[in-house]
Amino acid sequence: MPQPIRIAIVGLGKIARDQHLPAIAANPAYKLVATASTSGGQAGVPGFASIDELVASGINVDAVSICTPPGPRPAIAITALSAGMDVFLEKPPAATLSEFEAIRTAAAANRRVLLASWHARFAPFVDEARRWAAGRTITSGRMSWRESVRKWHPGQDWLWQPGGNGVFDPGINGLSILTAVSPLPVAVRKAAFDVPDGAQTPIAATLTLVAGAAEIAVDLDFRAEGGETWEIELHASDGGRLLLAQGGAAISIDGETQRSEPEREYPNLYEHFAQLIARRDSDADASPLMLVADASLIASRSTVEAFRW
């Protein structure tokens, strides 16, 4: 039997504890050997305060999952890659495109595997949606990504600072699905942001995207208190209609009764990462981050009332 991948986690916040630790524990391809975090450790494995302390410890680590906020990720990733570790980046992979490119360059230079983990692409019906769209001409579409920041990100002040992305932290999940499903490249034509008084990033946004001749209307909102809406709808020139709902965990094609399956995004991601390591291959697509960056370049901005999250 092959030896398990000795993996460490850097950044033990909510996403690491909710998703990464359970997915690693459930997959025999991995063995958690260390953590590095300023917010506590994990029982049973050595804990360190930083990636530098982890590297200096001499513990044998094959791969690292970086689950910190986006700002510090490039320095952590480059340190890990230079130390001979393969790297799994929580989304978004970095705060800026240039920093992400620096990470990709470091991975190539050190011949290490890099996964930019657009986890929403691993929802149950994204592959079926991609197959539906392949070979079709998309004529129009919409994407609605609405949820409560108080429910999903309580007290996470970094979201509202420069580089924190605000509503694009969840919205980029929908963009990652859309860019995976669309048979043509997706670009930003218009954008408008609502920014709370005292914050630096938007709490809501509307975008007009284009893919070929198709326009896709995007509605993002972090103030939805009545339940989540995570939907993408596409129309094709042959009359076909696709609806992805529940973030890709449900699908309806041409008006059929909606089908759904349990969400397994992070277990699927870790299976994918293990396969990449076995093949010595990387998966580091920048297109969802590019859409956020482009929207930020051209957006009109309105200040809205202060919001307590």
The pLDDT tens digits of the residues spanning 178-223 come to: 999 999 999 999 999 999 999 999 999 999 999 999 999 999 999 9
- For the cut 70, the answer to whether the pLDDT of residue 236 exceeds it is yes
Is pLDDT above 70 for 231? yes
Provide the pLDDT for residue 218: 98
User: CA-CA distance, 283 to 280, in Å (whole number)?
Assistant: 10
pLDDT the model gives residue 172: 97
| CB within 8 Å of 15: residues ≥ 6 apart | 67, 90
pLDDT at res. 155: 85
Average pLDDT, the chain: 95
> What are the structural domains of the chain?
5-116 (3.40.50.720), 120-262+293-304 (3.30.360.10)
The pLDDT of residue 277: 98
* Mean pLDDT, residues 228-254 taken together: 97
Burial bucket for residue 129 (CB in 10 Å: 0-12, 13-18, 19+) = buried
The pLDDT of residue 84 is 97
What pTM, to 2 d.p., does this model score?
Answer: 0.93
* Among 113, 201, 106, 98, residue whose Cα is nearest residue 158: 201
Output the DSSP codes for 259-274.
EE----HHHHHHHHHH
Q: What is the model's pLDDT at position 154?
A: 86
Min mean pLDDT across 36-45, 213-222, 296-305 is at: 36-45
Which two three-digit tokens encode residue 65?
Answer: 């999952």
Question: Is there a catalytic annotation at residue 91?
Answer: yes
The pLDDT of residue 1 is above 70: no
Among 14, 91, 151, 190, which one carries the catalytic annotation? 91
Cα–Cα distance measured from residue 217 to residue 143, given in angstroms and rounded to the nearest whole number? 6
Residue with tokens 């965990």: 249
Confidence of residue 163 (pLDDT cuts 50, 70, 90): confident
Q: pLDDT digit string (tens) for 13-30?
A: 989 999 999 999 999 999
User: Checking phi first, is residue 246 left (phi over 0); if not, alpha (psi -120 to 50) or beta?
Assistant: left
Q: Are 180 and 130 in contact (CB under 8 A)?
A: yes
Q: What is the pLDDT of residues 56-75, one digit of tens each?
A: 999 999 999 999 988 899 99
Give the model's pLDDT for residue 275: 97
Q: What angle do CA 244, 298, 186 make, to 5 degrees?
A: 35
